Amino acid sequence: MQTIAAATIDLSTTGRLDPVTTNRPDDPRITAYGLLTETYTGLSARISAQLDEHKLSLVEFDVLLRLARTPGNALRMTDLAAQTTLSTSGVTRVVDRMERDGLLDRRACPEDRRGSFAVITKAGLHRLEEALPGHLTTIEHWFTGQLDPAALESLLDGLRTLRDAVHPGATSGSLTAGEC
């Protein structure tokens, strides 16, 4: 038996819920998804408030963080779009704005002039380094610190499995600015 929120379901035979017998508003799948979205919404609000202090949106912070964590501090625009779940036009608008603010540069791919890279600047790295301590404190207080190490590891494993299923491009982009 497994308990999800207030519902108890027998998963002993298949390990899955029977969609025919559990299509109702109190279905534990709805509860699981609801808890995930409520948690994400609450965490996003707290993180956004902390990032506002550094004049960064959640998306801008995510872009800076992904670029800083990538070899060469650069990602192709298409890979950046895939990793941030932005559309290609959405990532273009964000990169344009961040480039105007001096946080990023855009560089053409030498081998393929149609392709371009977003590259974090020194100013972008500096802004990220200023925001990170508060960001980590917020995450620790409202997220990772709420779970014991075993529960956190289990959650991370589950989230990776789910992410890879619904967003397989989230880890794309191993090329650097010198490779196309």
Alpha helices for 87-166 (secondary structure H): 88-100, 122-142, 149-166
- How would residue 17 be classed by pLDDT, with cut points 50, 70 and 90? low
Higher-pLDDT residue of 13 and 25 is 25
pLDDT (average), residues 115-135: 96
3-state secondary structure 56-94: CCHHHHHHHHHHHCCHHHEEEHHHHHHHHCCCHHHHHHH
Nearest to 176 by CA among 65, 72, 83: 72
pLDDT of residue 154: 97
Domains with residue ranges and CATH for the chain: 2-12+28-143 (1.10.10.10)
Q: Quick check: 26 pLDDT over 80?
A: yes
